Amino acid sequence: MVDAFRRIGVTRVRSDAGAAATDRVATEEPLEIRLHGRPFAVIMRTPGADRELAAGFLLSERVIAGAADLGAIEFCTHRSGPTSLPMRAENIVNVTLAGNAAARLDRIIGERRKVTTHSSCGLCGRLTIDSLRAEAPPLDSRWTVGSQVLTSLPDRLRASQSVFDETGGLHAAGLFTADGTLETAAEDVGRHNAVDKVVGRMLIRQQLPLSSFLLFVSGRTSFEIVQKAFLAGLSIVGAVSAPSTLAIDLARETGVTLLGFVRGGGFNIYAHGHRVALEAQPVSSQVN
């Protein structure tokens, strides 16, 4: 198994003086996802939770609709088959589909050109934004979460980031209950990958939709992250940093409560604030 970080020799400069040192750097390697042995996608990711990442990615790509469409997810034991990148066996997973997804395999492969999904940019290679929009009704969950719980989430998620402690270079995503209990978390060089890992883990456990959890991420919120949350049934999404305009638009369309700049005891509400119960400290209306 590939380590999540590597030790790299560096020159560390302090007060205009340089000295040899060792740094720990987050690993980024390609993961090839095959469907029934046929190449489907290559994702740049941090090794670890690869089966969960594949499951979450296939859900967000609408290849599968749920656990019933998943047969098996197995690491390849050899490198046979076409690929555009030099791949080690531990960087290839083969997914066997079931149910309706298996019946659509030829069409799925035919409709998608093979793309490389870079860790920094999400779903590259899609032709239009409209093709990313899910054909499903807006989320209508009624539960709420307190503002004090929300402001505690950055520290709670940070406490789960063991690889970040070593590298300082990974994003994280976590699923939390309404009282702030962390259900599961994942780290990756890509924000989108971290989300796919936690969603895929719950999908494999057959716990979708995730209507009783909220998603919290360590970086900014993009369109793709809101889309992944929506497809998984997550009606509340929070982030340490800013959302994009397209993320806000999609959240408002799909019924997702979207929170940004959750740090320093406050946050901004960008969409569907009725799920936030304000408590002792009022939330500033200033937009950062």
Catalytic positions: 121
Phi, psi (degrees; rounded to nearest 5) at 215: -105, 130
Which residues, listed in sequence order, are joined to residue 263 by a DSSP beta bridge? 266
Contact 281, 147 (CB under 8 A): yes
**Residues 6 or more apart whose Cβ sits within 8 Å of residue 25:** 5, 6, 7, 8, 167, 169
Q: Which of these, 241, 287, 232, lies nearest to 263 by C-alpha position? A: 241
Give the CA distances from residue 81 to residues 40, 76, 84, in Å, rounded to whole numbers and listed in that order.
12, 11, 10
- Give me the DSSP letters along 150-185: HHHHHHHHHTT-HHHHHHS--EEEEEE-TT--EEEE
DSSP label at residue 64: -
Q: Which H/E stretch holds residue 128?
A: none
Q: Which two tokens stand for residue 80?
A: 């046979």
Q: Which two tokens stand for residue 76?
A: 């390849």
Phi, psi (degrees; rounded to nearest 5) at 92: -130, 125
Residue given tokens 């997973």 in the structure block = 93
Q: Which two tokens stand for residue 28?
A: 């980024």
Q: Give CA–CA dist 18/10, Å, rounded.
A: 10
